[in-house]
Structure 1
Amino acid sequence: MAGVRHRRDLGRRALLFILSLLLVLAIALAQRWGWLRPFNHGLMGGAGAWRDTAIGPPVTLTMVGLSEIGDTAARIGMSLVACAMLFWRGRGRQTVWLVLVVVGGTLLNAGLKQVFAAPRPDLLPHLDIVKSYSFPSGHASGNMIFFGALAMLIGRGWAWIAASAMILPIGFSRVWLGVHWPTDVLAGWILGIGWLFLCGGWLRR
């Protein structure tokens, strides 16, 4: 019976992951066809207006810091520290799980970026140097996956609150810096949630 329940659980998780991919595809198409232009331009234009006010410089400095914390290089460093701590505590299987989740999610996002090949926004001057495609946001999906995976390993409510306190501001920082449309970030979060939910089945096993 346990094996049957586990297979059903994995089936449900796989279905939700596929639905998340379809939703990401729907956002990509809607964005390409211009249906989301008012939403994207409204939010990013609002961020640009705030950038030009008195509070703009200190907020921008904070957003740059958050963006750097959520960058791939920093995320790799934090992942290595987390894996070392897990391994030191004798949690070898969870160490392997975390590595596979983070690496797999990173490759998934990179692959989708190549598939959609969406250019970066040109509404605001970029406050970060970027050369890759825009959709879906790697900062959004990568940090959703990393901090979400840590919260799943800890298994406490406060861990999810702490993860959200990192995921949401990092995602917003990319819009403030002018390098991602809001829907790029939203799609990245959806992708990260779908991937986390799929991988959570093997963690429970």
Structure 2
Amino acid sequence: MAKGAGALVLALFCVLGIALVQRQGWLDGLNAGLMGMAGRARDSGAGTAVTWIMQLASAVGGTAARFALLVACVIALWGIARRRALWLLWVTVGGTLLNLSLKQVFAAPRPDLLPHLDLVRSYGFPSGHAAGNMIFFGALAMLAGRRSVYVGMGLAIALIGISRVWLGVHWPSDVLAGWIEGLGWLALCGIWLPAGRGVDGRMDAGAPGDEPAPFR
């Protein structure tokens, strides 16, 4: 418990540090440079096709689509691994609430360097897409416990995060902070990861005496 809580606290301190550095303008050059590269790529010959891919990735990683996927996963797991379904549910919902709270605390505006290619209404820091998908897809990878799943989920997380910069609605530092926030939350929630296939070789069906496995 102490290790998980410590990891989350460390992650939140990192998020705070990024916020302070960003607010002082020390990341302006890096943020503007990377987003400027995205803007030039958007205007290139392949920019239209890439933008379509980025919009699709961003839509899949949006709150509505992510929670639709969450409901589908919970339903699929419910009959065979109820504890795992409940764990996935509260990890994702709790992480979303954490991100919404941090957005209100920092109240950071969205970048205006490029025209926005997505409709946004909330504050920009830390990125909800980056944090939410790190938490959701990361939790799925933890439940599966397979290297191939970790790689696939990692690629999805990276693509969704990059898409937010490409679409002009997040600074790269917003995305980085979201990823760090998500990792910290997963480290804490991993303490209660239910035992099952990919964790200790057993399938958790909510049987009596089935204890949570520690996060590794």
Q: TM-score range by the shorter chain?
A: over 0.9
- Paired AA for residue 27 in structure 2: L
**Counterpart selection for 2:65 from 58, 74, 80:** 74
1:143 lines up with 2:118 in the alignment: no
Give the CA deviation at 1:88.
2.2
Which residue does the alignment assign to 1:118?
108
**Counterpart selection for 1:180 from 170, 175, 184:** 170
Which residue does the alignment assign to 1:24?
15
- Paired AA for residue 52 in structure 1: D
The alignment partner of 2:87 has SS state of helix
**Counterpart selection for 2:121 from 113, 124, 131:** 131
Give the CA deviation at 1:122.
0.5
Which residue does the alignment assign to 1:93?
83
Give the CA deviation at 1:42.
0.6
1:200 lines up with 2:190 in the alignment: yes
Please give the alpha-carbon distance, in whole angstroms, between the structure 2 residues aligned to 1:176 and 1:153: 31
- Paired AA for residue 84 in structure 1: I
- Paired AA for residue 74 in structure 1: A
Deviations 1:110-147 (A, max 9, x none): 00000000000010000001010000000000000000
The alignment partner of 2:169 has SS state of coil
- Paired AA for residue 102 in structure 2: L
Aligned residues: 195
Q: How does 1:11-50 map to 2 (within 5 A)?
A: 11-50=2-41
The alignment partner of 1:173 has SS state of helix
Please give the alpha-carbon distance, in whole angstroms, between the structure 1 residues aligned to 2:177 and 2:46: 29
- Paired AA for residue 114 in structure 2: L
Deviations 1:40-82 (A, max 9, x none): 0010000001111111110001100000000000000000111
Which residue does the alignment assign to 2:56?
65
1:106 lines up with 2:96 in the alignment: yes
- Paired AA for residue 51 in structure 1: R
Please give the alpha-carbon distance, in whole angstroms, between the structure 2 residues aligned to 1:157 and 1:47: 31
Please give the alpha-carbon distance, in whole angstroms, between the structure 1 residues aligned to 2:4 and 2:112: 37
Give the CA deviation at 1:201.
0.5
Please give the alpha-carbon distance, in whole angstroms, between the structure 1 residues aligned to 2:145 and 2:95: 20
TM-score (norm 1): 0.94
- Paired AA for residue 92 in structure 1: R
**Counterpart selection for 1:160 from 150, 158, 169:** 150
Q: CA RMSD in A?
A: 0.7
Please give the alpha-carbon distance, in whole angstroms, between the structure 1 residues aligned to 2:107 and 2:56: 27
Structure 1 gaps of 5+ residues are: 1-9
TM-score (norm 2): 0.89
- Segments of 4+ in structure 1 off by > 6 A? none
Please give the alpha-carbon distance, in whole angstroms, between the structure 2 residues aligned to 1:120 and 1:165: 25
The alignment partner of 1:121 has SS state of coil
